[in-house]
């Protein structure tokens, strides 16, 4: 085979991907969604670089640069309160300190910035100019517990915002048991007792702490959304969740438009308005479909006091809050319980 034949064969080799029309390549990018993968495509060729900027559907997973140091020197707060209240608040304060230390110079993508917990979303989204649907996943906490994979506590929430909180649904439990082990009830202090169908003052206070914790977490994420929405004017719907599947914020097009009209206030979270809380409680909630029993099962539906809704609206909101089958079953059984508690909480 001479040099001329080799040259002719090389000319016949064509990159089939180059033959695809732009509209089809863009459809592929929209199905890929992952912001990091798409950003990597921008350096492959100019054509990909131009098309990536036009991607409408983007998902972004934010990873930690380093984990928070853990202090195990005699600390007894490793139970429910430590995992779901102290640890998230510790992480939140750590992020605030890291952000403030860079406020004078802006965000710097430098490997020496080891004190930063994670990259800010706007920095990772700079390659995209036409985002319409955005999904962000924040770092989670280790040891996630669910009905399927554990026997520890559970705290899950879903919130919806416009310019401020519109609703929040919380599902919590102090623990789980296998169905065959359920018979005797252990109260939250570990002592065996008869089933008490009413919340004690101590139990109620604990659930108020759960509620405040979830509302603070959701309002902090909403503040993050303000910056993203103002930087990307074509966003129509957005979702922020976390790796532990503990909390989710979702916003539709109406809510995004409403938020965009709101001026960004330089504070670390959105103010939570005065709210009305409707709460259902069962000391033991049997879930035969999942082979277990939820201990201290609690459901809370939260709305601003200025919102007037029908009783059935609270039920439909709660039932549709969680997509996992086990969570939906638990919610349905709790709302079937006629007795509920009603609480009011001031703005904070």
pLDDT at 305: 92
Say how many C-beta atoms besides its own lie within 10 A of residue 66's C-beta: 10
As a whole number, mean pLDDT of residues 244-259 equals: 91
Q: Tell whether the model's pLDDT for residue 190 goes beyond 70.
A: no
Higher pLDDT, 216 or 73: 216
> What's the pLDDT band for 69 if we cut at 50, 70, 90?
very low
What 3-state DSSP class applies to 251?
strand
Q: Tell whether the model's pLDDT for residue 146 goes beyond 90.
A: no
> What does the alpha-carbon distance between residue 314 and residue 303 come to, in Å, rounded to a whole number?
9
Pairing status of strand 247-251 against strand 154-161: parallel
Residue 157 bridge partners (DSSP)? 170, 247
As a whole number, mean pLDDT of residues 277-287 equals: 92
The share of the chain scoring above pLDDT 70, in percent, equals: 70
Of the candidate ranges 13-17, 45-49, 139-143, the one whose mean pLDDT is the lowest: 139-143
Chain mean pLDDT for the chain: 77
> What does the alpha-carbon distance between residue 172 and residue 203 come to, in Å, rounded to a whole number?
12
Using CA atoms of 18, 19, 21, 26 in order, give the dihedral in degrees to the nearest 10: -40
Rounded to 5 degrees, what are φ and ψ at 97?
A: -65, -40
Q: Tell whether the model's pLDDT for residue 172 goes beyond 70.
A: yes
What is the 3-state secondary structure of 261-323? HCCCCCCCCCCCCCEEEEEEEEEEEEEHHHCEEEEEEEEEEEEECCCCCCHHHHHHHHHCCCC
Of the candidate ranges 93-107, 196-210, 216-230, 273-287, the one whose mean pLDDT is the lowest: 93-107
If you average pLDDT over each of 47-56, 67-76, 184-193, which comes out highest? 47-56
pLDDT at 13: 67
Higher pLDDT, 242 or 63: 242
pLDDT at 16: 74
Q: For tokens 């416009």, name the residue.
A: 162
User: The tokens of 4 are what?
Assistant: 């001329």
Give the pLDDT confidence of 289-329 residue by residue, as tens digits: 877 888 999 999 999 998 877 777 888 899 999 988 888 99
User: The tokens of 233 are what?
Assistant: 């004017």
> What's the pLDDT band for 143 if we cut at 50, 70, 90?
very low
Q: Tell whether the model's pLDDT for residue 99 goes beyond 50.
A: no
As a whole number, mean pLDDT of residues 216-244 equals: 90
Q: Tell whether the model's pLDDT for residue 123 goes beyond 60.
A: yes
User: The tokens of 309 are what?
Assistant: 């809704």
> What does the alpha-carbon distance between residue 278 and residue 334 come to, in Å, rounded to a whole number?
12
Whole-number Cα distances in Å, 223 to 8, 122, 220, 229, 260: 60, 13, 5, 10, 12
pLDDT at 266: 56
């Amino acid at each position: 085979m001479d040099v001329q034949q080799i040259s002719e064969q090389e000319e016949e080799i064509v990159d089939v991907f180059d033959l695809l029309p732009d509209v089809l390549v863009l459809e592929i990018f929209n199905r890929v969604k992952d912001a990091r993968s798409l950003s990597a495509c921008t350096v492959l060729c100019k054509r990909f670089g131009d098309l990536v900027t036009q991607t409408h559907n983007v998902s972004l997973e934010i990873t930690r640069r380093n984990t928070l140091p853990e202090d195990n020197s005699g600390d007894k707060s490793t139970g429910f309160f430590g995992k779901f209240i102290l640890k998230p608040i510790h992480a939140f304060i750590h992020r605030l300190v890291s952000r403030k230390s860079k406020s004078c110079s802006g965000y710097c993508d430098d490997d020496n910035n080891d004190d930063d917990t994670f990259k800010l979303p706007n920095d990772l989204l700079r390659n995209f100019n036409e985002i319409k649907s955005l999904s962000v996943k924040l770092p989670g906490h280790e040891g996630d517990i669910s009905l399927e994979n554990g026997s520890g506590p559970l705290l899950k929430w879903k919130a919806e915002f416009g310019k401020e909180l519109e609703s929040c649904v919380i599902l919590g439990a102090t623990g789980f048991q296998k169905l065959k082990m359920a018979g005797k009830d252990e109260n939250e202090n570990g002592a065996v007792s008869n089933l008490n169908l009413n919340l004690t003052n101590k139990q109620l206070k604990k659930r108020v702490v759960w509620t405040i914790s979830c509302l603070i977490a959701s309002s902090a994420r909403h503040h993050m959304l303000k910056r993203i929405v103002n930087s990307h004017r074509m966003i129509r719907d957005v979702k922020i969740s976390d790796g532990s599947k503990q909390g989710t914020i979702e916003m539709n097009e109406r809510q995004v438009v409403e938020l965009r009209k709101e001026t960004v206030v330089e504070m670390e979270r959105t103010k939570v308005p005065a709210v009305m809380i409707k709460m259902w409680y069962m000391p033991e909630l049997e879930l035969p479909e999942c082979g277990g029993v939820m201990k201290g099962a609690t459901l809370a539906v939260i709305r601003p006091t200025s919102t007037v809704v029908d009783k059935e609206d609270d039920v439909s909101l709660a039932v549709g809050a969680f997509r996992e089958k086990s969570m939906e079953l638990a919610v349905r059984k709790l709302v079937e319980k006629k007795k509920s508690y009603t609480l009011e909480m001031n703005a904070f």
